[in-house]
Amino acid sequence: MKILDKIVEDKKIELKNLSSKIPVSLLEKRSLFSRQCISLKNSILNSPSGIICEFKRKSPSNNNINYETSIIDVIKGYQNAGAVGVSILTNKKYFDGDISDIIETREILDIPILRKEFIVSEYQVIEAKSIGSDAILLIASILKSEEISRLSSLAKSLDLEVLVEIHSFDELKKISSDDIDIIGVNNRDLDTLEVDIMNSEKLFDKIPDQFVKISESGISKVESILRLREIGYQGFLIGENFMKTSDPMISAYNFIKKVENEI
């Protein structure tokens, strides 16, 4: 079984148990459920760098990315570095994330939080709103076209923005909803875990201009950002490049400032 299929299978089992313990009615009573979201789309468009910084402890391809720095310190550092938003993984089994990571950092941030999770149900969308997320990630490779439409429509009704992640033109063709704000091209093949930044170059012109376009994964050089910006990308999601260093906050600051100085 491919790793992505395994992650989704495990997530569905987890959701059955979770939804029986904490029903939607309780999620909707959480204090953060009523907060007004911050627009990730606008934050990207109004930024010179467009860089979203990600917090990630581990991944299926790297079991020890960073366990030395606290999420509070890293997230604060990302905001101070000039990030347009932060991406926080909440998948426990494969990334050692948790919804508490978003709850704990929400009150110290003035920039939007993208909940990065393998979302396959309405429950997760409502949960994302209840923990203080501003945007959700939908992965096209694990969802049918009608599921993308249904989940994005629910998200927009809750004031959440939607980032749909694609890796191929076939996945792009699944998108037919006007409820999507951002399309992200993942340079990492989620089946093989191999990275090729050329994937973003190949798919750019195929993405309708109604969407904000961002490139994700495998971005480690300022030159790559400048090249992708020249093509037309407005945002960039960077995770391991910062997290694998001893000081992600300083790494992000130095990188973002170099990008801003080159623009």
Instruction: Please give the CATH superfamily to which domain 3-262 belongs.
Output: Aldolase class I (3.20.20.70)
Neighbours of 38 (CB within 10 A): 17
| Given the residues 127, 161, 165, 171, the one annotated as active site | 165
Q: Is 92 a catalytic residue?
A: no
- Per DSSP, the chain holds a count of helices (H) and strands (E) of 13, 8
Q: Is 56 a catalytic residue?
A: yes
Query: What's the Cα-to-Cα distance from 118 to each of 40, 41, 193, 262, rounded to whole Å?
Result: 19, 21, 16, 35
Q: Residue 59 has what DSSP assignment?
A: B
> Is residue 263 a contact partner of residue 88, using CB atoms and an 8 Å limit?
no
Tokens representing 200 are 């973003």
Say what the pTM is. Answer: 0.96
Q: Is 104 a catalytic residue?
A: no
Q: Is 68 a catalytic residue?
A: no
> Is residue 137 a contact partner of residue 160, using CB atoms and an 8 Å limit?
no
How is the chain split into domains, by residue range? 3-262
Q: Is 54 a catalytic residue?
A: yes
pLDDT truncated to tens, each residue of the chain (263 aa)?
Answer: 688 899 999 999 999 999 999 999 999 999 999 999 999 999 999 999 999 999 999 998 888 999 999 999 999 999 999 999 999 999 999 999 999 999 999 999 999 999 999 999 999 999 999 999 999 999 999 999 999 999 999 999 999 999 999 999 999 999 988 899 999 999 987 677 788 899 999 999 999 999 999 999 889 999 999 999 999 999 999 988 999 999 999 999 999 999 999 88
